[in-house]
Amino acid sequence: MPITVIAKLKVQPGKDTEFEAAAKQMIATVKESEPTTLTYILHKNTKDPTEFVYYEVYQDQAAFESHGKTDHMKAFGGKIGSLLAGRPEIAILQEVARK
Protein backbone atom coordinates (compact mmCIF):
# COMPACT_ATOMS: atom_id res chain seq x y z
CA MET A 1 0.00 0.00 0.00
CA PRO A 2 1.44 3.42 -0.95
CA ILE A 3 2.52 5.81 1.80
CA THR A 4 2.03 9.56 1.37
CA VAL A 5 4.08 12.04 3.35
CA ILE A 6 3.58 15.79 3.72
CA ALA A 7 6.63 17.51 5.16
CA LYS A 8 6.38 21.21 6.00
CA LEU A 9 9.66 23.02 6.52
CA LYS A 10 10.11 26.62 7.62
CA VAL A 11 13.40 28.28 6.72
CA GLN A 12 14.98 31.34 8.24
CA PRO A 13 14.26 34.63 6.46
CA GLY A 14 16.70 35.16 3.59
CA LYS A 15 17.69 31.48 3.47
CA ASP A 16 15.03 30.36 0.97
CA THR A 17 17.32 30.51 -2.09
CA GLU A 18 19.98 28.42 -0.38
CA PHE A 19 17.35 25.93 0.78
CA GLU A 20 15.84 25.68 -2.71
CA ALA A 21 19.25 24.90 -4.25
CA ALA A 22 19.88 22.07 -1.76
CA ALA A 23 16.32 20.76 -2.19
CA LYS A 24 16.55 20.70 -6.00
CA GLN A 25 19.78 18.72 -5.74
CA MET A 26 18.10 16.30 -3.34
CA ILE A 27 15.12 15.85 -5.65
CA ALA A 28 17.42 15.03 -8.57
CA THR A 29 19.25 12.45 -6.45
CA VAL A 30 15.99 10.85 -5.29
CA LYS A 31 14.77 10.68 -8.89
CA GLU A 32 17.96 8.92 -9.99
CA SER A 33 18.44 6.53 -7.10
CA GLU A 34 15.08 5.71 -5.49
CA PRO A 35 12.75 3.84 -7.87
CA THR A 36 10.33 3.07 -5.02
CA THR A 37 9.83 6.79 -4.34
CA LEU A 38 6.90 7.40 -6.68
CA THR A 39 6.48 11.15 -6.14
CA TYR A 40 8.83 13.68 -4.55
CA ILE A 41 7.71 17.25 -5.17
CA LEU A 42 8.65 20.47 -3.38
CA HIS A 43 6.22 23.38 -3.13
CA LYS A 44 6.75 26.93 -1.87
CA ASN A 45 4.00 28.84 -0.11
CA THR A 46 2.94 31.76 -2.31
CA LYS A 47 2.12 33.89 0.74
CA ASP A 48 5.17 32.96 2.82
CA PRO A 49 8.48 32.48 0.96
CA THR A 50 10.02 30.85 4.03
CA GLU A 51 7.54 27.93 4.05
CA PHE A 52 8.16 24.86 1.90
CA VAL A 53 6.08 21.70 1.61
CA TYR A 54 7.21 18.36 0.26
CA TYR A 55 4.59 16.03 -1.20
CA GLU A 56 6.03 12.52 -1.22
CA VAL A 57 4.56 9.16 -2.22
CA TYR A 58 6.38 5.92 -1.54
CA GLN A 59 5.61 2.48 -2.94
CA ASP A 60 5.15 1.13 0.59
CA GLN A 61 6.30 1.51 4.20
CA ALA A 62 9.64 -0.17 3.45
CA ALA A 63 10.37 2.35 0.68
CA PHE A 64 9.58 5.24 3.04
CA GLU A 65 11.85 3.83 5.73
CA SER A 66 14.62 3.18 3.19
CA HIS A 67 14.46 6.79 1.96
CA GLY A 68 15.08 8.09 5.48
CA LYS A 69 18.21 5.96 5.85
CA THR A 70 19.95 6.90 2.59
CA ASP A 71 23.27 8.68 2.58
CA HIS A 72 21.81 11.46 0.44
CA MET A 73 19.01 12.05 2.96
CA LYS A 74 21.56 12.30 5.76
CA ALA A 75 23.67 14.70 3.67
CA PHE A 76 20.59 16.80 2.85
CA GLY A 77 19.73 17.05 6.55
CA GLY A 78 23.25 18.28 7.21
CA LYS A 79 23.01 20.92 4.48
CA ILE A 80 19.66 22.35 5.53
CA GLY A 81 19.86 22.02 9.32
CA SER A 82 21.31 25.49 9.80
CA LEU A 83 18.82 27.00 7.34
CA LEU A 84 15.67 25.87 9.13
CA ALA A 85 13.66 27.94 11.59
CA GLY A 86 12.52 24.97 13.64
CA ARG A 87 11.85 21.28 13.22
CA PRO A 88 10.01 20.05 10.12
CA GLU A 89 6.36 19.04 10.55
CA ILE A 90 5.85 15.56 9.12
CA ALA A 91 2.45 13.99 8.42
CA ILE A 92 2.25 10.38 7.23
CA LEU A 93 -1.01 9.77 5.39
CA GLN A 94 -2.89 6.69 4.29
CA GLU A 95 -5.00 6.95 1.15
CA VAL A 96 -8.74 6.60 1.68
CA ALA A 97 -10.22 7.21 -1.79
CA ARG A 98 -9.10 8.24 -5.27
CA LYS A 99 -10.74 9.66 -8.36
Say what the pLDDT of residue 86 is.
Answer: 94
Residue 50 contacts by C-beta under 8 Å, 6 or more apart in sequence? 10, 11, 12, 13, 15, 16, 85
Q: Hey, is 72 helix, strand or coil?
A: helix
Q: What is the pLDDT of residue 41?
A: 97
Q: What is the CATH number of domain 3-53+61-93?
A: 3.30.70.100
- Could you tell me which residues come within 8 angstroms of residue 79 by beta carbon, excluding any fewer than 6 positions away? 22
pLDDT of residue 96: 86
Q: What is the pTM of this model?
A: 0.90
Among 1, 42, 47, 3, residue whose Cα is nearest residue 23: 42
User: Which of 46, 67, 48, 70 is CA-nearest to residue 56?
Assistant: 67
pLDDT averaged per 10 residues, the chain (length 99): 95 95 96 95 96 96 94 94 96 88
Q: Determine the pLDDT at residue 98.
A: 81
